[in-house]
Amino acid sequence: MNKKFSVIGAIVAGAFLAGAAQSALADETSIAAGELLYKREGCTTCHGSNLQGSAAFPNLLTSPKTADKALFSAIVLEGKSPMPSYKANAKVSAGLDSLYDYINSKKPK
């Protein structure tokens, strides 16, 4: 490779790495925001602080419904008796992506 191409290569690689670091940071920020919402907006009451629910409430770590963002958002917004609707909760409705990121980050890989 001549010098000109290796300089371009280094710039491209650098931009790629900076982008990766930035999105990892965005993920961490979103996960942390989701954790706060989960704990402050009442999800723990039924699904537990470990997200594993109980006999009456679904385990969010194993539920396939938590992996599908559209389904997840619909359930949280609409509720599903006895789970309340969170449509009127501005923090939860604005933070659905973060809640989704938090719950999915806790699943066993």
Which residues in this chain contact ligand HEC in the complex, by CB under 6 A?
Answer: 41-43, 45-47, 57-58, 60, 63, 65-66, 72, 75-76, 80, 82-84, 86, 92, 99
Q: Which residue lies nearer to ligand HEC by CB, 33 or 99?
A: 99
Amino acid letter, residue 99:
L
Cβ proximity to ligand HEC, 1 vs 56, nearer residue:
56
For residue 29, the minimal CB distance to ligand HEC (Å) is 18
CA triple 77-78-80, angle to 5 deg: 120
Contact 44, 38 (CB under 8 A): yes
Alpha helices, H only, the chain: 3-40, 43-47, 69-78, 90-94, 96-105
Min dist. Cβ of residue 109 to ligand HEC (A): 19
Residue 16 in tokens: 């790629």
Q: For residues 84 and 97, which CB has a smaller minimum distance to ligand HEC in the complex?
A: 84
Q: Using the minimum distance from each CB to ligand HEC, give the nearer residue, 72 or 101.
A: 72
Q: Which residue's entry shows tokens 């920020």? A: 29
> Residue 6 Cβ, how far from ligand HEC at the closest point, in Å?
49
**Residue for token digits 């699943």?**
107
